[in-house]
């Protein structure tokens, strides 16, 4: 019985992959022919099947950008970037889309150390840092065993130094993985989808408007209360907006 269930699962999975491949090809064909809305529909069908990839999100971003829908294009570029943070093409197209937005939000200045740590930790995702740590730990064990069994002093010295380098690399990988994971879990980025939204002092329509935000701006959700979200900008400004005016990025 278990064998038949496994075969049925494999068969269903294979059919799903084949259907997604057909949808992807259809979406690509529609995009190349200028039928951007049709391409968007096909890419969304792929997402509904549970296949989330940087490639699908990136192509969705391109399709929305060509359809002059800047907010959704930025949203899907940002989602692609979460899965592949160092892809030059995603970064480039995201920058083009961000140039189309109205709001100019200057991030708070960082110290040189903060910039360095940020640039290094973003080289890999937190799971990739974990895999890197495992590889370096495996190399450390192999090299330390070599140090133990080698007979000649020069080989023992080289094996010991190399093992210590791998141990240090393991610790660094774990450190950046933890920092990356902490940043991923403690921040809730979102993109404004409303053409214009008033940022309020309090979570109600009667309170004063502090400033306005427009479609495509990136914010960070800090708190949720009923139908309102407290948001923070990269420049430190914060306030409340209706939850329906934005879409969070980490909703995979």
Q: Verify that 168 and 211 share a domain, yes or no.
A: no
**How many domains are there within the chain?**
3
Q: Which domain holds residue 62?
A: 2-98
Q: Verify that 172 and 200 share a domain, yes or no.
A: no
Query: Do the domain assignments include residue 199?
Result: yes
Sole residue written with tokens 């019985």:
1
Separation between Cα atoms, residue 21 and residue 243, nearest integer Å: 35
φ and ψ at 233, to 5 degrees? Answer: -95, 165
Q: Verify that 200 and 179 share a domain, yes or no.
A: no
Q: Can you read off the two tokens belonging to residue 214?
A: 């427009």
The answer, as to whether pTM is greater than 0.85, is no
**Quick check: 133 and 177 in contact, CB under 8 A?**
yes
- Lowest mean pLDDT segment, chosen from 151-155, 174-178, 205-209: 151-155
Tens digits of per-residue pLDDT, 38-53?
A: 999 999 999 998 888 9
CA 246 to chain centre: 17
Tens digits of per-residue pLDDT, 81-130?
A: 988 888 999 999 999 999 999 998 888 787 888 888 888 888 888 889 99
Q: Verify that 150 and 173 share a domain, yes or no.
A: yes
């Amino acid at each position: 019985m278990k064998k038949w269930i496994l075969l049925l699962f494999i068969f269903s999975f294979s059919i799903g992959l084949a259907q997604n491949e057909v949808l992807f090809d259809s979406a690509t064909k529609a995009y190349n022919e200028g039928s951007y809305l049709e391409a968007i529909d096909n890419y969304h069908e792929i997402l509904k099947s549970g296949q989330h990839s940087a490639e699908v999100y990136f192509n969705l971003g391109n399709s929305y950008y060509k359809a002059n829908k800047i907010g959704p294009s930025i949203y899907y570029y940002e989602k692609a970037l979460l899965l592949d943070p160092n892809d030059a093409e995603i970064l480039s197209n995201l920058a083009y889309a961000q140039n189309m937005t109205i709001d100019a939000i200057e991030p708070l200045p960082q110290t040189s150390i903060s910039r360095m740590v940020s640039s290094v930790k973003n080289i890999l995702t937190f799971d990739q840092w974990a895999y890197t740590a495992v590889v370096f730990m495996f190399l450390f064990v192999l090299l330390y065993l070599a140090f133990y069994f080698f007979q000649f002093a020069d080989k023992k010295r080289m094996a010991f130094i190399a093992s210590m380098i791998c141990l240090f690399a393991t610790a660094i990988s774990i450190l950046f993985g933890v920092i990356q994971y902490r940043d991923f879990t403690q921040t809730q980025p979102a993109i404004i989808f409303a053409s214009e939204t008033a940022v309020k002092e309090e979570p109600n329509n009667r309170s004063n408007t502090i400033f306005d935000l427009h479609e495509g701006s990136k914010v960070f959700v800090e708190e949720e209360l009923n139908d309102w979200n407290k948001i923070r900008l990269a420049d430190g400004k914060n306030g409340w907006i209706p939850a329906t005016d934005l879409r969070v990025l980490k909703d995979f």
